[in-house]
Amino acid sequence: MIQLQAIRDNKEGIFIALKKRNIDAAPLLENVLQLDEKRRATQTLLDAILAESNKISKEIGILFKSGNTQEANILKEKTVALKEDSKKMADDLNATADELQALLYQIPNVPHESVPSGSSEDDNEEIFKEGEIPALISDALPHWDLAKKYDIIDFELGVKIAGAGFPVYKGKGARLQRALIAYFLDKNTDAGYTEIQVPHLVNEASGFGTGNLPDKEGQMYHIGEDDLYLIPTAEVPVTNIFRNEILDEKDFPVQYTAYTPCFRREAGSYGAHVRGLNRLHQFDKVEIVRVEHPKSSYEALNVMVEHVKNILRELKLPYRVLRLCGGDLGFTAALTYDFEVFSTAQDRWLEISSVSNFETYQANRLKLRFKDENGKNQLAHTLNGSSLALPRVLAAILENCQTGDGIQIPEVLVPYCRFEKIG
């Protein structure tokens, strides 16, 4: 959530920045400031009442101790009215604070200055492109047909067991998937990330901390019986490691990587472009998460981008990097780079990674702080990125590496797969 102090300090700047998201935040911001003022005024009144009643209580204590019951009882009566007042005032304060909080939740993160304005994904800015788009063989197939041809992914079987969007990987398909996970984790570890394994179910507080709740409630599977949510990404459990923590400056940079399955309801996103592996309810992903000093978070973001580039380069997949425009930028992100690989047989780009800096937006919700050089607690910056999301990488490998003689596994994966070819 946005920092209230930021709005107090720079309402105009925030208003202008939020225009990139095509929202007119002026009324919202004005409302926030008014409620903030009201909240503080109410707090001041309440504090005065509480101070008075604390004082009287102490006097009563002293009187009782010295045996002066009569005078104590007189003082007691004085507190009755104070109590009523404070109760009323406290209710008032809570109501105002809740209202203020609700407004703050509605405000998305302030886009970084480099974020281009724009209304949809068409306005995203391509900043980098690399890799050869392979010439297709004459009878090239999309990955869902290849999956069937080589019997490596069974979508119908998944429907039988769970439903649409839960494919079953078989034989070399399963092996290739496992190889990719191991390869990604190794690359991340080599780059300084510590591998961790985290719960795949999280509680409400965790969902809230990363901003998945309450905004994106409908996108997560919820287990009512135990009030737990299946994670939509490892970002949620990993980032929540730091909920309510105060780090030391020397703890930076915090770098974690985790493989987890990811569960997404994808409510309302059926239709074209969701065939095969393009959009699933359950998929595998390897995630990288960093917690950074505000001074160096954008440097860290660039390091992450270079890291993901490097992986795609090794896999020899054609890809491009986009800087998301204001209209396409996620609610909680300040700056996001999307990575897309070219899926040759589908003749389209597939998003396979999203690398973002959330600045203090998540940290504010998480209460993730660090002690700065002056001994003051301030919010840290959180960042994360996929390195990488599996199904679309798999789809791209199948499609781009198909030959008349089967699917040629990228060289770097061969030691992990222990086979060179499918088919």
Partner RNA sequence: GGAGAAAUGGCAGAGUGGUCGAAUGCACUAGUCUUGAAAACUAGCGAGGGUCACACCUCCGGGGGUUCGAAUCCCUCUUUCUCCGCCA
Ordered DSSP codes for 290-303: EEE-GGGHHHHHHH
Angstrom distance (rounded) from CA 393 to CA 171: 18
Residues 365-384 that bind RNA (CB under 7 A): 369, 371, 377
Q: Does 53 bind RNA (CB under 7 A)?
A: yes
Q: Does 137 bind RNA (CB under 7 A)?
A: no
Angstrom distance (rounded) from CA 228 to CA 221: 9
- 115 CB burial (10 A radius; 0-12, 13-18, 19+): buried
Question: Taking CB under 7 A as the rule, which mask of x and - marks residues 215-254 in contact with RNA?
Answer: -------------------------------x--------
Interacting span for RNA (CB under 7 A) from 52-60, 104-112, 171-179, 256-264: 52-60
Interacting span for RNA (CB under 7 A) from 61-69, 253-261, 278-286, 387-395: 61-69
Ordered DSSP codes for 24-88: --HHHHHHHHHHHHHHHHHHHHHHHHHHHHHHHHHHHHHHHHTT-HHHHHHHHHHHHHHHHHHHH
Please report which helix (H) or strand (E) contains residue 347, including its range. none
Q: Does 47 bind RNA (CB under 7 A)?
A: yes
Please identify which residue in 2, 29, 46, 397 interacts with RNA, judged by CB under 7 A. 46
CB of 274 to RNA, least distance (A): 36
Nearer to RNA (CB atom), residue 40 or residue 88: 40
Nearer to RNA (CB atom), residue 55 or residue 273: 55
Residues 77-116 that bind RNA (CB under 7 A): 79-80, 83
CB of 97 to RNA, least distance (A): 9
CB of 53 to RNA, least distance (A): 6
Q: Which tokens in the block code for residue 265?
A: 């309801």
Angstrom distance (rounded) from CA 104 to CA 35: 11
Show the beta-strand stretches assigned E in 91-240: 125-130, 153-154, 168-169, 194-195, 201-202, 222-223, 228-230
Please identify which residue in 10, 13, 30, 48 interacts with RNA, judged by CB under 7 A. 48
Q: Which tokens in the block code for residue 187?
A: 């690359």
Instruction: Report which DSSP code applies to 358.
Output: E
Q: Does 62 bind RNA (CB under 7 A)?
A: yes
Contact 354, 323 (CB under 8 A): no
CB of 383 to RNA, least distance (A): 21
Backbone angles phi, psi at 201, to 5 degrees: -120, 140
Residues 283-312 that bind RNA (CB under 7 A): none
Q: Does 28 bind RNA (CB under 7 A)?
A: no
> Where on the chain is the footprint of RNA (CB under 7 A)?
40, 43-44, 46-48, 50-51, 53-58, 60-62, 64-65, 76, 79-80, 83, 246, 369, 371, 377
